[in-house]
Amino acid sequence: MHSRSRTTPSRRIALAARRGMTLAELMIVVVIIGVLGSLAFVSYSAYIRRSRSQEARTMLLAIGNREDAYRSEFAQYCAAGRTSGSPPTSLGVSSAWPASSPGRLAVDFFTGMPTEWAQLGFRPTSAVRYRYVVIVGSPSTTPPGESGFSASPNQDIWYIAEAYGNLDGDSINSTYRLFSGNGNRLAITNETE
C-alpha cells in the first residue's frame, strides 16, 4: 500500500512561489509600475518648474533692493531694459533684457548687457530663465496697471519691475510684477502658465 502525502497550505504556497507569476499577474504589475512612474514624472516636472520660477521672485526682490539703494544715493530710480542709453518707458517683453528669450534653458545675462543694469548694480549670479525690465515715473505720471495710484502732486516717484518667463514652452508667459507704490509686494500672473 502506498501512502498519499497530503499537501499542507504552507507547502502549496511554496510550490506556487517556485512556479513564478502568470503572464496576467506580470502585466498587472507592469501597468501599476507605469502609472506610478507617470505620476512621479508629472509631480517632478511641476516641482522643477516651481523651483525655477523662484528665480523671478528672487531677482525682482534684488532689483527692488537695488532700486531703493539707487534712490538713496541719486534721489531717483533707475530704469533698465533692453537698450543701452535709452531707458524703457513701457513694460513688456519687447522692452525686457536679455534680448533672447530664455525658457527651459537659461541664457547669459551679461553678454551685451545694457549699461543701465550695471548702473543699478544688478548682477545675477548665474544665467537666467526670465526677462527683466524696470520702468520709472514721476509723481505726475500714473503707473501703468496701478489703478489705486493716481497722478497727483502728493504722490511720489515710482518704479515697476517685471519678469517674463515661459518655462513649459507653450505660448503663455508668466509675469511677475514688483511695484514700489504697494510696499514691494509681488503680483503674479499665470504663475504655472
Cβ contact 178:64 at 8 Å? yes
Least confident interval from 16-20, 24-28, 53-57, 74-78 = 16-20
Cell 495710484, located at residue: 149
- pTM assigned to the model: 0.74
Task: Report how far residue 127's alpha carbon sits from residue 36's, in angstroms, rounded to the nearest whole number.
Answer: 34
pLDDT tens digits, 134-177: 999 988 888 888 877 766 666 788 999 999 988 877 878 889 99
Burial classification of residue 117, based on how many CB atoms lie within 10 Å of its CB (0-12 exposed, 13-18 middle, 19 or more buried) = buried
In-domain check, residue 91: yes
In-domain check, residue 30: yes
In-domain check, residue 3: no
In-domain check, residue 1: no
Q: All 3 cell numbers of residue 46?
A: 511641476
Cβ contact 134:126 at 8 Å? no
Q: Computed from CA positions of residues 78, 79, 83, 85, in that sequence, does the dihedral angle turn out positive or negative?
A: negative
pLDDT band at 83; cut points 50, 70, 90 = very high
In-domain check, residue 4: no
Domain span at residue 27 reads 9-189
Average pLDDT on 123-134 reads 91
In-domain check, residue 2: no
What pLDDT is attached to residue 15? Answer: 62
Average pLDDT on 105-128 reads 90
Number of domains in the chain: 1
In-domain check, residue 141: yes
In-domain check, residue 153: yes
Q: Are strands 158-165 and 131-137 parallel, antiparallel or unpaired?
A: antiparallel
